[in-house]
Amino acid sequence: MEAFWASFLVVFLAELGDKTQLIVMAFAVKYNWRSVFLGMTLGIFVVHSLAVAIGSLAGELIPVHLMTIIASCLFIGFGVWTLRGDDEGEDEDEATKSSRFGPLLTVAMTFIIGEMGDKTQFAAMTMATQYESWWLVLCGAVLGMVLADSLGIIAGTFLHRRLPAKKMRYLSAGIFLLFGVAGLLESVFQNI
C-alpha cells in the first residue's frame, strides 16, 4: 500500500494549482459536470497508464539503487520546475472551444494532450520505477489526480480566492523537494 499512498500524495499535491485544474474549471462552465468528470478521468487514466507502463519497464531494467538516485534527482528537478512555474501559457479559451467530438472526448483529448510530459506524468513514471506494484502506483496516481482536478470543478473559485496560486505552487514544490532529498539521503545511507 506504500506505493499507492506515495503515488497518491505526490500526484495530488503536484496537481494543486496546475494548469489542468484551470482547464477543468473552464470546461465545467461550458459543459455538464458529469461529462467533464468522465472526460477528465478517461484522459487521466490514459496518461498515467502510459507513464506507469514506461516506468515499470525501466524499473525492471535499471538496478534499484541507481533508480533511487535518478528518481530523487527527478523529484528535485520537479520541485525546481514547480517553483519557477509552468511557462506553457495555454489559453483557457482554446481549451473551451467547441469540438466535433462532443464534451466527453473533447475533455479527454485536451487532458491527454495537456498532461503529456507534465510533471504529474513524470512523477507517476518515477514512482513506477521504485515500486514493484505498478498497479498500485497507477491507482494512486489516477485517484490523486482525479481528486485534485475534481476540486477544480467543485471548489476552484474558492481555492483561488483563499490560496493564491503562488502558495499552492510552493506547497507542491516543497513536497517534490522533500521526496527528492529524502531519496538521495536514503541512497547515501544505504551505501555507507
Model pLDDT for residues 167-177, shown as the tens digit of each residue:
767 766 776 78
CA angle in degrees (0–180, nearest 5) for 65-48-171 = 75
**What average pLDDT does the structure give for the chain?**
77
Secondary element (H or E) of residue 52: helix 33-61
Give the type of residue at 12.
Answer: F
Where residue 67 falls among pLDDT bands split at 50, 70, 90? low
- Please answer whether residues 15 and 149 qualify as being in contact, where contact means their C-beta atoms are separated by less than 8 angstroms: yes
The reported pLDDT for the residue numbered 90 is: 41
Give the type of residue at 184.
Answer: L
- Please answer whether residues 134 and 54 qualify as being in contact, where contact means their C-beta atoms are separated by less than 8 angstroms: no
- Please answer whether residues 108 and 35 qualify as being in contact, where contact means their C-beta atoms are separated by less than 8 angstroms: no
Domain boundaries, the chain: 2-190
The reported pLDDT for the residue numbered 155 is: 55
Of 33 and 46, the one with more pLDDT: 46
Average pLDDT over residues 72-80: 79
Burial 44-53, CB ≥16 within 10 A → b, else e: bbbbbebbbe
Where residue 89 falls among pLDDT bands split at 50, 70, 90? very low
The reported pLDDT for the residue numbered 136 is: 92
pLDDT over 70 for what percent of the chain? 78
The reported pLDDT for the residue numbered 5 is: 92
Closest CA to 113 of 14, 17, 23: 23
Residue in the block written with cell 531519496: 183
The reported pLDDT for the residue numbered 163 is: 64
> Residue 152 contacts by C-beta under 8 Å, 6 or more apart in sequence?
20, 21, 22, 24, 25, 28, 159
DSSP letter at 97 equals S
Of 156 and 166, the one with more pLDDT: 166
Where residue 8 falls among pLDDT bands split at 50, 70, 90? very high
- Asked if the model's pLDDT at residue 42 lies above 60, the reply is yes
The reported pLDDT for the residue numbered 88 is: 45
